[in-house]
Structure 1
Amino acid sequence: MYELGVEQINCNGRLIDLPSLEVVRPAPKMPSDANIDWLLHIYFTRREFTRCRRLIERELNRHLNPEYLYFVQGLIDREEGNNIEALRHLQKSVELNPRNIETYKEIGRTLYLMGRFSQALGVFREAEQRSSIKDHEIYHYLGELLYRAATTQTQSELARQQQDESRSYFELAVQTGRKQESYVRLAELYRKDKQYQKAIEVLENCLHLTPENSEVLIEISVLYLKINETQKAHDRLAEVVGIERKCSPKGLLAFGAILQSRNDVDGALSKYSQIANAEPEIAELWNNIGLCFFKKQKFIVAISSLRKSVWLSPLNYNALYNLSLIYIALCLRKLDDMENAFVALERASSMSVGPQGGGRNPLVVLNFALFCYETGRLAMATEQYNRFMSQAQDLLLPTEYKFQATKLKSLLRISSQGNGILLDPMDSEESDLGRSRTTDLPPDELPLEVNAVVSQN
């Protein structure tokens, strides 16, 4: 830098000294062996890919270590949708430096985007072995890939092992990092195993990362519905309404289910109508609408709604078994359609414990037992009661279900010693208090399933 001489000007008869001016000299040229990785990184983060390519092309021939150049070139290729070239350049980078874990991770991500999941799994396993630190990104992708493999696995035992290993990796991911996707996926696995309380705890921790995440709040409310904590579910949904003016269909469906469980049928229908206007092709929506109209004694509309639910999801046993309950109500009103009711409820009961049912639903079996009693099939009623008790002994069920079961037990005059019935802890003081000696079970007392937004998986 150098200074010019001091100059003066005449302003209204006065001499004023002008400030000295500094002239900036041109920047010196960088030597040919200088490291320009920092400049390449700046261009890449700015998404100035054209400048990146020019710089890489210029430097590849004279750069002492082109590892980073190939690495960035691979990322650019992937951003532009050229995954084959991306893999080729990333492979060159890892050959120059096999200890760079980031390159392995980018190769794994690229394979994942290409749908080569088994190869991606192998790359991330190798990255895990080579990494000297606990890397939450590696754990997340391993969990994701194993979970995907489990869902497509034909052998049930192997699928279970892969799912357990997937959950272990997601647990490591949330312990070592703060990635929202890991929390959500871990909660999904807990929910699939019906460990609803653990799923809630995981999502509550996720809220520390994103306190106003409406999707997470809705999922928490759905899980609270699963364990019959309707007030807590309502509180979480109220937060969603406070965050955003328009609630998602999933949130509205959960809100409607809560109102429905509190016998606010009109309020529930108002929520469901908002969903029907936006996304009418939801099987659970029409299932719940059908139950609302059944509560309002509008049987034809209820049947039409449930039939639409079955049409949208033919293997949805909730809608099938709710439809059978309405047939029961109609049959008991002398419409002579008892056989259709029996067939529908028997089918729903058989599906509730099979692969289609995705797990146990003792409520279906209890309703089938009640129906069998009402139609004089006492032996089958006893058999279905036994199934209900064996399935429900380790589950948290609403008091209404227990009350109906104890009432049926007394009607069938089942003895825990005489008939070898499998009983649970409710078959004690609480059972005696709720025991009824009536000889009829009106259809209005049958417990109906309100299938909220959550699936049965």
Structure 2
Amino acid sequence: MSTMVSIGKFDYLNEPQSDTFNPKIESDKEKRNWMIHMLYIRHDYVECLKVIEEQLQSCQGLCEYAIYVKALILRQKGKIQDSLSLFQATVMLNSNNPANLKQVGRSYFLLGRVSEAIECFDEAQKLSPEDWEIWFNKGLCFGSAKQYDVAEDCLIRSNSIQRHDATYIELGKIYIQQEKFREAIDIYIEALDYSPENSELLTTVGLLYLRVGDNFKAFEYLGNSLTHDPKNPKIPPDLIIQTILATGSIIQDHSENDVALSKYRIAAVHTPNSAQLWNNIGMCFFGKVNYVAAIACLKRALYLAPFEWIIAYNLGLVHLNTGQYASAFHYFSASINLKPDFASSYMYLAITLSRLDDFDNACTAYEKAIEMESDHMFELNYAITLYNHDDFDSARHHLLQFERLFSELDEEEREAEQNVLETRQRLSAALA
């Protein structure tokens, strides 16, 4: 069984291989290679470039290794086109070194010239057919070109030669782009068999389980990710925040607001200006019936992301619960303007309009919500509003619709809504 290696980038330092050998010329070419290598791996690029220039002057610009490292440095500075020219020069000096062709292909890929990149990797493959990195980069190229089947084959072949975290991650991305979420989960779990403490893999699996609606599994993997290394510098900060927010959201769903807030405190250190973070914090305070703090957090979230419909929707909920019906109407209307296809917004807008004694518009909003989605709560609240305005026949009709939809729920869902049953009994008795 081969061992999987975790890597972060693909700029390797390969010693050149020359077809002919002249002791004096080769000595001039290579006498500073050790120093160039040492300065490069120390990231002392300024001094490294000075030594490279001295080396190139002493050997009349024919030192393959010095040109190769200079090209790597220029690429890291964002000068992709300049680095490509230098890598092409290394190919001219030594066309039998596959590392040179790989870097030319990599530069073409970074410039978006995918077909030329694939041609370079094909040439490199003739020299080194069992090089996992060549297959990996071909997989990236075909994936970028949306040739997912070919990309999948290349990445699987790369893994068969030598397993790497990066290969598993890219293969999973290919499945995700095709919305094959279960296949992506399977490939990441296979990766975890070889690298069980990889926080990025754990986080990605957790987020995928969230996407397929398996919250229990999502919580397990996201929790493991945070346990292993909540501040892992190898994981992008946005992925850490995403992990914390996802974990906190699951905890919130189980009404553990204090535990969720403790998670969000960690996220606040990394991204104090995250609208999603402040939205979630606000809803934690809403769950704790601390409406003043909830409104303050949600308004901060709205300031950071004024076009996020969910924040306006949540502000509407809080103001509705505090009896500030004019403000609730304002926020529900804003939410509907930003996302007109969310049925619950119309139901809560209808409740708000009813509290503002605008019965006709409340009925219109209820009808719109029911037209968009069959939901037992829409029918029950509509029946209550109709009863409060003495329209008993229509109230009975919608109560019957509620009974039909409620009976279609499974037993667990019905048991979770005891307060709904109490409201139904009181309304049923009043209408009888």
TM-score range, shorter chain: 0.5 to 0.7
Report if aligned partners of 1:33, 1:64 keep a CA contact under 8 Å in 2: no
Alignment pair present for 1:27 and 2:90:
no
CA distance, structure 1, for counterparts of residue 158 and residue 369 of structure 2: 54
Listed as ranges, the matches of 1:284-295 within 5 Å are 284-295=344-355
- Whether the 8 Å CA contact 1:104–1:124 is kept in 2: the answer is yes
Alignment of 1:219-368 (within 5 A): 219-244=280-305, 246-315=306-375, 317-331=376-390, 339-340=396-397, 342-343=399-400, 346=403, 354=411, 360-368=416-424
What does 1:59-208 correspond to in 2, within 5 Å?
59-63=124-128, 66-97=131-162, 99-131=163-195, 134-147=197-210, 151=213, 163-175=215-227, 176=229, 177=232, 178=237, 179=239, 180-208=241-269
Please tell me whether the aligned partners of residues 302 and 311 of structure 2 are also in contact (alpha carbons under 8 angstroms). no
Q: Contact 2:185–2:208 (CA<8 Å) still a contact in 1? A: yes
Residues 1:33 and 1:125: Cα distance change in structure 2 (over 3 Å) = same
Shift in alpha-carbon separation, 1:350–1:277, aligned structure 2, 3 A: same
Q: Aligned equivalents of 1:120 and 1:277: distance in 2? A: 35
CA distance in 1, matches of 2:315, 2:147: 45
Q: Which amino acid aligns with 1:169?
A: Y
Looking at structure 1, the residues matched to 415 and 243 of structure 2 have their Cα atoms a distance apart, in angstroms, of: 25
- Taking the aligned partners of 1:65 and 1:205, their CA distance within structure 2 comes to 44
1:255 offset after TM fit, Å? 1.7
* Residue of structure 2 aligned with 1:218, choices 279, 283, 291: 279
Instruction: Classify 1:27/1:50 alpha carbon distance in 2 versus 1 (closer, same or farther; 3 Å).
Output: farther
Residue 79 of structure 1 and its aligned partner are, at CA, apart by 1.0
Task: Please report how far the alpha carbon of residue 252 of structure 1 lies from its aligned counterpart in structure 2 after TM superposition.
Answer: 1.3
Cα shift readout 1:60-103 (whole Å, capped 9, x = no counterpart): 22248622111111111101111111122222222222x43322
> Equivalents in 1 of 2:161, 2:134: separation in Å?
11
Deviation larger for 41-50 or 173-182 = 41-50
Instruction: Report SS of the residue matched to 1:219.
Output: helix
Given that residues 172 and 188 in structure 2 are in contact (C-alpha distance below 8 angstroms), is that contact kept between their aligned partners in structure 1? Answer: yes
Aligned length: 337
Matches of 1:351 and 1:203, distance apart in 2: 37
Alpha-carbon RMSD across the aligned residues, in angstroms, is: 3.3
CA contact 1:256–1:272 (8 Å) conserved in 2: yes
Q: Report what 2:89 is aligned to.
A: none
Q: Secondary structure at the match of 2:99?
A: coil
| Aligned partner letter, 2:167 | T
Structure 2 CA distance for partners of 1:85 and 1:349, relative to 1, 3 Å = closer
Q: Which has the higher helix share?
A: 2
What CA deviation, in whole Å up to 9, does each residue of 1:208-264 have, x standing for no partner?
Answer: 3322222332233234334433222211122124334x3422111222222222322
1:378-417 equivalences in 2 (<5 Å): none
- The one-letter code matched in structure 2 to 1:237 is L
CA distance in 2, matches of 1:30, 1:183: 49
Structure 1 counterpart SS, 2:272: coil
Alpha carbons 1:191, 1:199 under 8 Å: kept: yes
Distance 1:310 1:198, change over 3 A: farther
Give 1 or 2 for the bigger CA radius of gyration.
Answer: 1
In 2: Cα distance, 1:358 partner to 1:140 partner: 33
Gaps (5+ residues) in structure 1?
A: 1-21, 152-161, 377-457
Task: Give the TM-score taking structure 1 as reference length.
Answer: 0.64
Change (3 A) 1:272 1:33: closer
Given residue 27 of structure 1, which amino acid in structure 2 is its aligned partner?
L
Contact 2:298 2:315 in 1 (8 A): yes
Question: Percent identity between the aligned chains?
Answer: 13
Q: Which runs of 5+ in 2 are unaligned?
A: 1-56, 64-92
Instruction: Specify which structure has the bigger relative contact order, considering alpha-carbon pairs within 8 angstroms and separated by 6 or more residues.
Output: 1
Q: Distance in 2 between matches of 1:26 and 1:297?
A: 85
Separation (CA, whole Å) in 1 of partners of 2:219 and 2:339: 32
CA change 1:201–1:349 in 2 (3 A) is farther
